[in-house]
Structure formats: structure tokens, C-alpha cells
Amino acid sequence: MRVASPVSPDGLAEFRGLVLARGAELYRDLPWRRTRDPYEIWLSEVMLQQTQTTRVDGRWQRWLSRFPTVGALAAASPADVLDEWQGLGYNRRALALHRAAGELVAGGGALPADARALQALPGVGPATAAGILAFAFDQHAVYLETNVRAVFLHELFPGEGAVSDRELLPLVDVTCPADASDPADDPRTWYYALLDYGAYLKRTVPNPSRRSSGHTRQSRFEGSHRQKRAAALRVLLAHREEAAGGPTLEAISAELASEEEKSGRSPLSAPEVRALLDELAAEGFCRLVGDAWCV
């Protein structure tokens, strides 16, 4: 069953009934759905950005064992935070989490239940803020992420291409329950249904998100600039407890050359490695102390 767009009030009611039914049928009992702790939900939302659910399950629990509270995260060193993040990709997310935790502790330690205040934190955009509001506080929120987008495109815009988020956002807004007065149809339940139905659609039909005007294919990781940045950071973290504080440019270049050669790629030159390290340093990942590069 599909509902035509533009969507009538009756069509939206039909759409909501369909999504709730599919959500109940396809519900995934994920560990971060068993909590309402804002910190734990915030962490899951950040980890799930551009990372598969199967990779996050396990890593989320391990992170919370190491940094169980906002205060524990704020008190940790950036090196320990980055070390725990390894393998999840997009290391900027870890640094943003750490910086945001520091700001929260300075302001009292609790995540705010307000979209504007949440988005003022490092690394928290509209979707992450909406996820925290819906899943931790059961508030009405406009939560548009890839699986949610897939459902709206599949059901309300069948066969249409180049559909913009500007067209989708009002529909996401109007279909989200106003509050948690109905425990069978509150914001939390509604968005879980959308997420699970969207994940199902992506496995069973051509990805509806490709019909979004903002859709871009993720670039190849191996051999990319992102891969080389990640490799350099791994080298820095592996040597972070050395007496000198970290490896020299020459040592880093040698380790990166060995890794690139094993993968059948040409090694970076020393100037290229230095440029990579300078880039990471400018973003707060490392610093040069004497001849040593330290995290």
C-alpha cells in the first residue's frame, strides 16, 4: 500500500497506521532501546551516524563500561577517548563527544531537553538533537535520518526522484506524535517504527534514499585521504605511552610506508606525512612536542 503525495489528512493517517504496524512486526531489540538515559542515547545516536548497527552493538556497551557517565567522559584524556573509538570511523565524532562532555560538566553535567541547547553542543546537529529528544525525553521532534527518509520516500513519493528534505521535513513534523500521552504511539515508539521499517526496506527493495536530492554515494575508504588520516592516528595512539611522548616524523613515516606497501599502495613521502600530521594537529587530534608527535 502506498499513499500519494501531496498527502491528505486521511492519507497521513493511513501512512501512520501502516508504519506502526510494520514497526511492531519488524521491531529490533537493540541495547540502546532499553534505556532512557540521555547520555547513553546521545552516545548511540553519535555512534550510529554513518556506521552500521551491527558494528555499534558491542562497541556502545564497551564505551559505557569505560566512560559510564558524562563526567567520566569529560575527565578522560583525548587519547583514551580516541583509542576507544578506533574502528568506528570518522574520528571527529569522538573528539566532539569529548568536547561536548566537557561543556556539559562545566554547565552542571546534564543533557538539556531542548533542541536549541542540544545543537549548541559540539557535534550535535538537528538529527542528533531530535533523536535525543524523542528517545530520551519522549518529546515531539523532527528526526530525519537515512532510514526515516527511506520510509517517507518509499511510501509517500513512489517513483519520484530528486525529492528534497525540505519536502520531507513538514511531513516528518506532522506525523510525529505531539507527546507521550499514548504509550503505544509516542515519539519514541513512532521513530523506532520508522527506523525498523526503513532498515527493512533497504534490505528488500532498491534503496529509496537514492531518490533523495541530497543522496551521495559514500566514497571508497581504502586508499583515500580518510584512510591515511586514520592510519596516522592509529600509529600515534599505538605509541602514546612512550617515554618521549610519541613517535617522530621519521618513525611515523616508516610505519605508514610499511602499511601502504602491504596493501599494494605507494608509500607517502615524508613531506606528505608531515602535511597529514599538520592537518590532524590543526583539528586537535595531536600536537608536536619537540621532535615527538603526541596525542
Sign of the torsion angle spanned by Cα atoms 51, 54, 58, 64: positive
Q: Which of 148, 135, 157, 130 is nearest to 202 (CA)?
A: 148
Cα 74 to Cα 62: distance, rounded to the nearest angstrom: 17
Contacts of 14 (CB under 8 A, 6+ apart): 1, 3
Angle between helices 78-85 and 53-66 (to 10 degrees): 150
- H helical segments located in the chain: 9-26, 38-47, 53-66, 70-75, 78-85, 92-106, 115-119, 126-137, 146-156, 165-175, 187-204, 225-238, 249-262, 270-282
Adjacent-strand bridge partners of 163: 212
Residue pair 60/31 in contact by the 8 Å Cβ criterion: yes
Active site residue 45: yes
Counting Cα atoms < 13 Å in the Cβ hemisphere of 148 gives 19
Crossing angle of the two packed helices 146-156 and 187-204, in degrees rounded to 10: 80
Per the CB < 8 A criterion, the answer to whether 192 and 48 are in contact is: no
The type of residue at 62 is R
Select which of 45, 84, 167, 255 is catalytic. Answer: 45
Active site residues per annotation: 45
